[in-house]
């Protein structure tokens, strides 16, 4: 399969996105903001379809809208009342606006499927370089805020008392998440962002409570699932997103089963 240029590009794109997803997803799960990450993907769908409408690359439309959405959610702050309801409304309205944009420009309506479910086999070299650049920015941004972010996540009251700005950290982190979400949609699409952003991180945290091990394990799992999904899609001719989702779900179920078995053994 590696004799084909499009397969080599697909593997490279999947690897880049997997590394970013594993690292960013660990903090996303740890902070309990997975729903916000899912909402950002729908906001990105609106940006992508709007970009198609005006003749701009969908990737950059998605990046722009997700970053704006992340900043907006971060500014609302951790004390926002009924934030799940507000995020859910934004999620639904964003998806509806995206469908409206496609309605106005039906010549590119076929791109809706790729945006919703991903198309890693269709990634070209220029998009690959864009993903690499966005991935580098995401990882550098996460590394820069990781220590205060962890402090604010585990002990928010103490962190705030020591002068850490929870609102600023929230804005910066959700901006990083926005970039990671925009990259993920190129592989698994808007509707399956949880597959790479949440699945590997949740599996890793079910297996270990140490942050360093958790990040490394999440990245390893994301890589295995993304690359395995691309390979299985080539062999079976089934959608790549299906295989990545299946592998992610199976890994999580095995981790939970193992955790339950250990807990049962300790109780006995």
Dist CA 175 CA 100 (whole Å): 26
CA angle 42, 65, 187 (to 5 degrees): 55
Which residues lie below 8 Å from residue 243, measured CB to CB, with a gap of 6+? 228, 229, 230, 232, 233, 236
- 189: domain CATH number is 1.10.3470.10
In order along its 268 residues, the chain shows pLDDT tens digits of 889 999 999 999 999 999 999 999 999 999 888 877 778 887 888 888 888 778 787 788 888 888 888 887 777 655 544 466 667 666 777 777 777 777 776 655 556 566 666 778 888 888 889 889 999 999 999 999 999 999 988 888 888 888 888 888 888 998 999 899 888 887 887 767 778 889 999 999 999 888 889 999 999 999 999 999 999 999 998 888 889 999 999 999 999 888 888 877 777 6
Q: What is the pLDDT of residue 112?
A: 59
Closest CA to 229 of 247, 203, 211, 212: 247
Full DSSP string of 174-192:
HHHHHHHHHHHHHHH-GGG
Q: What is the pLDDT of residue 81?
A: 44
Domain span including residue 198: 5-267
Rounded CA-CA distance 265/147 in Å is: 35
94 token code pair = 């964003």
Nearest to 244 by CA among 198, 180, 207: 198
Domain count, the chain: 1
DSSP conformation class of 72: H
pLDDT at 161: 86
Its pTM stands at 0.85
| DSSP-derived 3-state class of residue 78 | coil
Look at residues 234, 174, 230 and name the one whose alpha carbon lies nearest to residue 44: 174
**Dihedral over alpha carbons 119, 121, 127, 132 (to 10 degrees):** 100
pLDDT at 216: 95
From CA 216, how far away is CA 205, in angstroms rounded?
Answer: 11
Q: Are 184 and 88 in contact (CB under 8 A)?
A: no
Does residue 239 contact residue 258 with C-beta atoms inside 8 Å? no
Instruction: Output the six-digit token pair for 216.
Output: 């490394």
Q: Is the dihedral of CA 131, 174, 243, 96 positive or negative?
A: negative
Q: Quick one: tokens of 25?
A: 């997803």
Q: Which two tokens stand for residue 71?
A: 């900043």
* 100 Cβ contact partners less than 8 Å away, ≥ 6 residues apart: none
pLDDT at 200: 94
Q: Reduced to 3 states, what is the DSSP secondary structure of residue 226?
A: helix
């Amino acid at each position: 399969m590696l004799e084909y240029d499009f397969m080599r590009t697909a593997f490279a794109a999947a690897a880049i996105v997997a590394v970013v997803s594993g690292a960013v997803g660990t903090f996303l799960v740890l902070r309990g903001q997975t729903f916000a990450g899912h909402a950002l993907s729908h906001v990105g769908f609106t940006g992508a379809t709007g970009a198609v409408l005006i003749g701009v690359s969908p990737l950059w439309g998605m990046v722009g809208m997700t970053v704006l959405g992340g900043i907006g959610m971060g500014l609302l702050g951790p004390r926002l009342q009924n934030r799940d309801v507000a995020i859910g409304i934004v999620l639904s309205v964003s998806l509806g606006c995206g469908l409206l944009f496609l309605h106005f420009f039906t010549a590119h309506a076929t791109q809706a499927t790729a945006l919703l479910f991903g198309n890693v086999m269709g990634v070209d070299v220029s998009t690959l370089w864009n993903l690499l650049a966005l991935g580098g920015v995401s990882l550098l941004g996460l590394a820069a805020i990781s220590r205060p972010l962890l402090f604010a996540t585990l002990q928010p009251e103490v962190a705030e008392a020591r002068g850490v700005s929870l609102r600023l950290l929230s804005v910066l982190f959700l901006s990083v998440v926005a970039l990671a979400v925009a990259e993920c949609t190129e592989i698994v699409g808007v509707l399956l962002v949880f597959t790479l952003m949440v699945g590997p991180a949740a599996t890793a945290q079910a297996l270990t409570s140490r942050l360093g091990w958790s990040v490394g394990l999440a990245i390893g799992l994301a890589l295995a699932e993304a690359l395995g999904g691309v390979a299985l899609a080539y062999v079976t001719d089934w959608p790549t997103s299906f295989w990545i989702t299946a592998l992610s779900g199976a890994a999580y179920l095995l981790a939970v089963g193992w955790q339950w078995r250990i807990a049962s053994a300790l109780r006995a």
